[in-house]
Amino acid sequence: MKGFRVTIATVTVAIASMAVVQQADAFRSNPNGMVFRAIGIFQGQVEEGKCTVPTANQAIADGNRSICRDATEIVSTEGTSVFPTVMFPELTTFANFCGGYVGMQNNMINQAINVSKVKIRYRIPGRGFPVLCRGFRVFKTFIGSRIDPFNSINPSPFGAPNINFVQLLPIYSPEMLDCLRDPQRGNVAAPVTVGARIVLFGQMDDGGRIKSNRVRYSLTLLPPGSTPPAASGGSPPVGNPTRCAAPVQ
């Protein structure tokens, strides 16, 4: 899948300290992500097999992708290699190793946000989620990222002081994907598209808690015999056909 480059606009919100009196355990108001914004999911650039993290001025949109439900097979003159699908994205060539970066923006003044948790909820449009897999329908993962305020003068590798990018490894958990293809539990026939709804949670410098707006991702799982899209790190050498394979025993 070829992405397209986007420039992330910086939005100024005149909020000095979010001085709203609320209960200590309540989340601060963040209508439509105006204060703490999840911008979207992006992909870095791949050069010579290495990944360059996205920046505010150059980011490739990464909102959907297709992968093999069970395994990816590569046939070459040296033989056949089969790579099982574990999670997505993951640090292998055919699982979008340079994708899945969530963009985050802090539009406050004089107050940073420390992002610590990500909550992801899955759904299968048009089919519903298998009953025996519903225990894996919500996935939580933890990250460590500090987003400076809009008026920060600290240098940033992401091109703007109030924007940060963190790769979510994974967006689609191994337990959930394993359950969907398990004949005794999910047994979900491919092709099937699994949507993910992603929300970020953080804490402000004054101790208040805040959560972002929702961003979405869409992953289509392909059946054996299908041809998966080119890997994020490039395509196999010419003459090496790639296809989706049966589950690895």
Dist CA 174 CA 156 (whole Å) = 33
Q: Which residues pair with 66 in a beta bridge?
A: 220
pLDDT band at residue 7 under the 50/70/90 scheme: low
Given a cut of 50, whether residue 14 has pLDDT beyond it is no
Cβ–Cβ < 8 Å for 38, 213: yes
Given a cut of 70, whether residue 246 has pLDDT beyond it is yes
Stretch 39-67: mean pLDDT: 89
pLDDT tens per residue across span 123-173: 999 999 999 999 999 999 999 999 999 999 999 999 999 999 999 999 999
Return the H-helix or E-strand segment holding 181: helix 174-181
Q: Which residues pair with 123 in a beta bridge?
A: 195
The 3-class SS string of 71-138 reads: EEEEEECCEEEEEECCCECCCCHHHCCCCCEEEEEECCCCCCEEEEEEEEEEECCCCCCCHHHHHHCE
pLDDT tens per residue across span 100-126: 999 999 999 999 999 999 999 999 999
Q: What is the pLDDT of residue 101?
A: 96
Q: How far apart are the first and last CA of the chain?
A: 29
- Which pTM was predicted? 0.87
Domain ranges of the chain: 33-245
**Backbone φ and ψ of 31, nearest 5°:** -60, 125
**Single-letter code of the amino acid located at 113:** I
Dist CA 245 CA 218 (whole Å) = 21
Given a cut of 70, whether residue 2 has pLDDT beyond it is no
